[in-house]
Structure 1
């Protein structure tokens, strides 16, 4: 369906990404390689997403400075099983945000379908791959133009205006990511 490459500016990375579709779901698959500060890393992820853009499950395999780790999550109705354990602090969360990729911004952008000059707050499972943490965060998306969104991380006041294509995939995320190729 779609294949592209993102360049990570802040995380000094390249990401080879593909999005496939069937009658019921989207499947996002990706491979990332990069270095950030003292960390040399590789990441492979697979995310199963329903047609409403809700994450159904994810698997993230990473290696950071030769240390291998896995993050896994499966949504069962409104509960999340994270690395094999049901975690109630993520109940009713529909989205994940993986620190090293702009793809996970596509999920709420496509689901929320916000009209111009409107905004929406959401709760997200934030997966910080380099720190090996999963935690709840609150984010807000404001549609500023047809293909632009103001992204805000409520807990740390981080803001960025991101540009997306017609599929909601990030084309520019200032100082963090740029799409450099697509097929």
Structure 2
């Protein structure tokens, strides 16, 4: 079991992630509190296979007194969103939630270890405030052993940031957005 805390740098927000890794896969459960918009709480239960690829992701959002839910599942026939097949997402490799740097870990763990290695793929981008989901394209470029450049190629076209990561691919600092917080 591993616990990671991240703090938002661009607004008030905190995330507590609990991670469990077994031979069968990975389970990440988290709570995010954010002042974005009118403020919200987002809980997620992310189930990954042994290669750190999404099997399912359940999100529970509470904001402005309204509770909403979203379930994303990878199946043999494609991605399901709340039980409905989404053929527009057939080409998608994995999932990205706007309010957490944990999703970057999934890509970084697949990125080569050598400076200059690149990985470009499509994701289901989930806006944490609205729980809307669309396909988006991203690129990761290894700058050094512990620095990866993130480049958004669709949803936030032109956005780029350096991510400093630990040996397991977890974001330590995400330029301008997140930093890991150590507990004493």
The residue that corresponds to 2:68 in the other structure is: 69
Unaligned 5+ segments in structure 1 are none
| Distance apart, 1:129 and its partner CA | 1.5
d(CA) in 2 for partners of 1:41 and 1:7?
15
| Distance apart, 1:114 and its partner CA | 4.8
TM-score where L is the length of structure 1 = 0.94
> How much is the aligned-residue C-alpha RMSD, in angstroms?
1.4
The residue that corresponds to 1:121 in the other structure is: 120
Give the secondary structure class of the aligned counterpart of 1:71. Answer: strand
TM-score where L is the length of structure 2 = 0.94
The residue that corresponds to 1:176 in the other structure is: 177
| Distance apart, 1:115 and its partner CA | 2.6
| Stretch of structure 1 that moved more, 99-108 or 71-80 | 71-80
**Does the aligned pair in 1 maintain the 2:93–2:123 contact within 8 Å?**
yes
| Distance apart, 1:125 and its partner CA | 0.4
Q: How does 1:138-149 map to 2 (within 5 A)?
A: 138-149=137-148
Q: How does 1:4-23 map to 2 (within 5 A)?
A: 4-23=4-23
d(CA) in 2 for partners of 1:137 and 1:68?
26
Q: How does 1:46-125 map to 2 (within 5 A)?
A: 46-77=45-76, 79-125=78-124
d(CA) in 1 for partners of 2:52 and 2:91?
14
| Distance apart, 1:118 and its partner CA | 2.0
**Does the aligned pair in 1 maintain the 2:113–2:145 contact within 8 Å?**
no
